[in-house]
Structure 1
């Protein structure tokens, strides 16, 4: 179990480093509120709601809903978590309203003892063309330890 935790944490650090980050164009920022919940040792699933604000000011803000599922070690309870990701794509032409909808996956690690922090780099969306890179590391309250793989699902709402 220690080996899995160490390997997951190492992968997370590599994915989060600027040298590993995919080259591309910054499309904007995705702000998400992740509902409170409890991890059950082998994983957890929490609902989320997000707003995407395009770097191109001619596009209106977009609303997304979905869920985040963690597979792996996830023990404890957390309050509402606020996350902010930079949305990166291979080119600006790929963007259209609602295009961020889809499934994202990546390595994750977080630790919480009353107030904690974590980082997640996720890849996916339509055509698996988008990278979500953490801008604001999550702030959460509770008591929790989570290391593993994260699946992040977004659905467009009225876009």
Structure 2
């Protein structure tokens, strides 16, 4: 893995995978509910979160939902259930004409100690164009 100087002190600690509800872009933004699972690499554990992703900026169209996936980098190699909770902010872009792809650059979490890999994978189906500021919030998701 190639790291920038800002990421040199970060550990790859797992993967965050979120299932998204349908989304309707309302020209200036959109909001989607998410169900997310963090797959911790050491020790091998899973933590479930309820999430919401909001985009502000150009957002036109609709998608049937989809999956977002990030590699998770952190300042500490030990990640607990509460570490991933919090708000992540950054930039994103998404385009879909039938199948779609997107990218999200987000940082946040517990004391801003977690980085969601600079280029996430977002797979969806629909007709949509979105670019702008993104806010992802992860909270308690119930049973593991």
Is the structural similarity TM-score above 0.5?
yes
2:84 is the counterpart of 1:100: yes
Picking from 26, 29, 36, the partner of 2:12 is: 26
Within a 5 Å distance, the mapping from 1:3-152 to structure 2 comes to 19=4, 22-23=7-8, 24-58=10-44, 60-93=45-78, 95-133=79-117, 137-152=121-136
Equivalent-residue separation in structure 2 for 1:151 and 1:136 (angstroms): 14
Tell whether the 8 Å contact from 1:32 to 1:48 is kept in structure 2 after alignment. yes
On the 8 A contact 1:84/1:134 being kept in 2, the answer is no
Distance 2:91 2:28 in 1: 15
Offset from partner CA, 1:61-111 (integer Å, 9 cap, x none)? 110001000000000000111011111111214x22221000000110111
Alignment length, in residue pairs? 141
Residues 38 and 44 in structure 1, CA contact (< 8 A), matched pair in contact too: yes
Measure, in 2, the Cα distance between the counterparts of 1:139 and 1:70.
Answer: 16
| Structure 2 unaligned regions, length at least 5 | none
SS class of match (2:82) = coil
> CA RMSD of the aligned region, Å?
2.0
How high is the TM-score relative to the length of structure 1?
Answer: 0.81
1:103-141 C-alpha deviation (Å, 9 max, x unpaired): 000110111111111111210011011000167621111
Instruction: Judging by fraction of residues, say which structure has more helix.
Output: 1
Question: 2: distance between equivalents of 1:69 and 1:86?
Answer: 20
Query: Which segments of structure 1 move beyond 2 Å, counting only runs of 4 or more?
Result: 17-23, 156-159
CA distance in 2, matches of 1:109, 1:20: 25
Structure with more strand by fraction: 2
